Amino acid sequence: EADIYQTPRYLVIGTGKKITLECSQTMGHDKMYWYQQDPGMELHLIHYSYGVNSTEKGDLSSESTVSRIRTEHFPLTLESARPSHTSQYLCASSPLAGGPNEQFFGPGTRLTVL
């Protein structure tokens, strides 16, 4: 069982609200990721980070922002949620250095914007 946590697991909010999805890992991994996934569909990388104070945009354009002030914490923020943001958001982490390494995923946050 991977030591990576996401809160909340489910969130239903109204349009225009600001939300922050939390992600924490206790494995000391340098690299962290946020993916967006519609049910049964592929994962789309929206943000990633190589370490503290590093944030990069992923392959899929997103209106969300991220921050990495601490190694273990990688929150994702939506300033003004819209129905188009309804999706599942998955956080992951992996070691930075060395050869092939797997990503460990959190359980996900299912977001519904009304």
Partner 1 sequence: GESVGLHLPTLSVQEGDNSIINCAYSNSASDYFIWYKQESGKGPQFIIDIRSNMDKRQGQRVTVLLNKTVKHLSLQIAATQPGDSAVYFCAENNYGQNFVFGPGTRLSVLP
Residues that bind partner 1 (CB under 8 A): 6, 33, 35, 40-43, 45, 48, 58-59, 90, 92, 99-100, 102-108, 110
User: Which residue from 1, 51, 6 is spatially nearest to 28, judged by alpha carbons?
Assistant: 51
Smaller CB separation from partner 1, 9 or 18: 9
User: Which residue from 54, 50, 64, 65 is spatially nearest to 95, judged by alpha carbons?
Assistant: 50
Cα–Cα distance for residue pair 68/30, rounded to 1 Å: 10
Provide, rounded to whole angstroms, the least separation between the CB of residue 90 and partner 1: 5
Provide, rounded to whole angstroms, the least separation between the CB of residue 111 and partner 1: 14
Smaller CB separation from partner 1, 6 or 24: 6
Cα–Cα distance for residue pair 49/103, rounded to 1 Å: 13
